[in-house]
Chains A and B, each alone.
Chain A
């Protein structure tokens, strides 16, 4: 059977957005993302311009999955963070349970600042995600009219 769905309620999403917005300012970052480890974007704050956030999320998750497996091959449990430093833009990814906090920053910030501020913010993010995970486990989709009322016709209409 597939995993239990992860359900993010509106109030949890808004709280996450608030934390990300603050982190973005504190890190002097261009943009801060929260991504599920399976590659689903959860929330972000900052200047995305024309960045393809869906592809970015999928690749970030693939990147962390690959480096985590490399860690195991050399006897480490995991690498808690992954850093990519470019000439102008850099990426700092830290693992928060089943999610990834991704900070994209440029010359206006520094890696050490991003590391310190991300660590502080990650506790708050973890708290909200833990709450959402617990709520998801307790949430019976059958009791929720949105999903239990989905009919075969609804599903078929997606492909018409």
Chain B
């Protein structure tokens, strides 16, 4: 839920990175964190297991600048991708303003992508949201790997509503900021519509 504070002249929005386990959600956030000037970001909080798998969520606040005198602050979250953390995923979707679905482009992860996307729609529905009505971007990650599903086939399987699609290699930053920009722009455009 967008929070607008007239006293501090701030707009705060929540963006959630969703996707199957090991698709690169945390890597997206880590790249954004590493590439952003210190004054524009807060700490990157990672609630992870001892083996660095996301246990509850990763979080980082990012200040993008000022629009009409209001500071725009985006709170970026990832969900844990592993199937059995579904209760945590539902909690993190509460109050969401925009979603990025990070798909793993490797052929053997096609089923996991489809299952996770279905899970996203279900969990959004349980919170009273409809994916078709939310700012939403699809990112096809790991495009540098040798065994990837062709772009047309993958986007055909995963595209939900004509959302923007970006090919990415989150480890080197390719497509990471394009994805963030696209979803942030949709969130602000929604705000303008009222």
Report the tally of A-B residue pairs with Cβ distances under 8 A.
136
**Interchain CB contact under 8 A, A158 and B184:** yes
B130 touches A142 (CB 8 A): no
Residues from chain A with Cβ under 8 Å of B97 in the complex: 2
> Could you give 28 example pairs across A and B, Cβ below 8 Å?
A2-B96, A2-B187, A5-B2, A5-B4, A6-B2, A8-B6, A13-B8, A36-B3, A36-B95, A37-B94, A37-B95, A38-B95, A39-B14, A40-B3, A40-B14, A40-B75, A54-B75, A55-B45, A62-B92, A147-B191, A147-B194, A148-B192, A150-B67, A150-B188, A155-B185, A155-B188, A158-B64, A158-B188
Query: What is the distance, in angstroms, from A5's C-beta to the closest C-beta of chain B?
Result: 4
Closest B residue, CB atoms, query A3: B1
How far, in whole Å, are A8 and B12 apart by their CA atoms in the complex? 12
A14 with B7: in contact, given A37-B95, A40-B12, A158-B184 (CB under 8 Å)?
A: yes
Query: B68 within 8 Å of A by Cβ?
Result: yes
How far, in angstroms, from A58 to B59 measured CA to CA in the complex? 8
Q: Is there an interface contact between B67 and A141, defined as CB atoms closer than 8 Å?
A: no
Question: Closest approach, in angstroms, between the C-beta of B124 and any C-beta of chain A?
Answer: 11
- B→A interface (CB under 8 Å): 1-8, 12, 14, 42-43, 45, 47, 56-57, 59, 61, 64-65, 67-70, 72, 75, 87-88, 91-92, 94-98, 129-130, 133-135, 177, 181, 184-185, 187-194
Q: Give chain B nearest CB distance to A59 CB in angstroms.
A: 7
Could you tell me the distance between the alpha carbons of A138 and B64 in the complex, rounded to whole angstroms? 28
Verify B5–A8 contact, CB threshold 8 A.
Answer: yes
Nearest-CB residue, chain B, relative to A38: B95
Residues in chain A near residue B68, CB distance under 8 A: 146-147, 149-150, 154
A35 to B12, CA, bound (A): 13
Which residues in chain A, 97-148, are within 8 Å of chain B measured between CB atoms? 140-142, 146-148
Known A38-B94, A52-B43, A65-B91; judge A159-B64 contact (CB<8 A). Answer: yes
Residue of B nearest to A136 (CB): B4
**Distance from A35 Cβ to chain B, minimum over Cβ atoms (Å):** 10
Expressed in whole angstroms, the minimum distance between the Cβ of A49 and any Cβ of chain B is 15
- Chain A residues engaging chain B, CB cutoff 8 angstroms: 1-10, 13-14, 36-40, 42, 52, 54-55, 58-59, 62, 65-66, 69, 140-142, 146-150, 154-159
How many angstroms between the C-alpha atoms of A58 and B42 in the bound complex? 12
Q: Evaluate whether A55 and B1 lie within 8 angstroms (CB atoms) in the complex, with A2-B129, A2-B134 already known.
A: no
Interface pair B188/A55, CB less than 8 Å apart: no
A150–B42 Cα distance when bound, in Å, is 26
Is there contact, CB below 8 Å, between A146 and B70? yes
Q: Shortest Cβ distance from A25 into chain B, in angstroms?
A: 21
- B1:A158 contact, CB within 8 angstroms: no
Min CB distance A78 to B, Å, is: 13
Chain A residues within an 8 Å CB radius of B75: 39-40, 54, 58
Which of A38, A55, A157: most chain B CB closer than 10 A? Answer: A38
Contact B1 A38 (CB under 8 A): yes
Q: Are B7 and A2 in contact (CB under 8 A)?
A: no
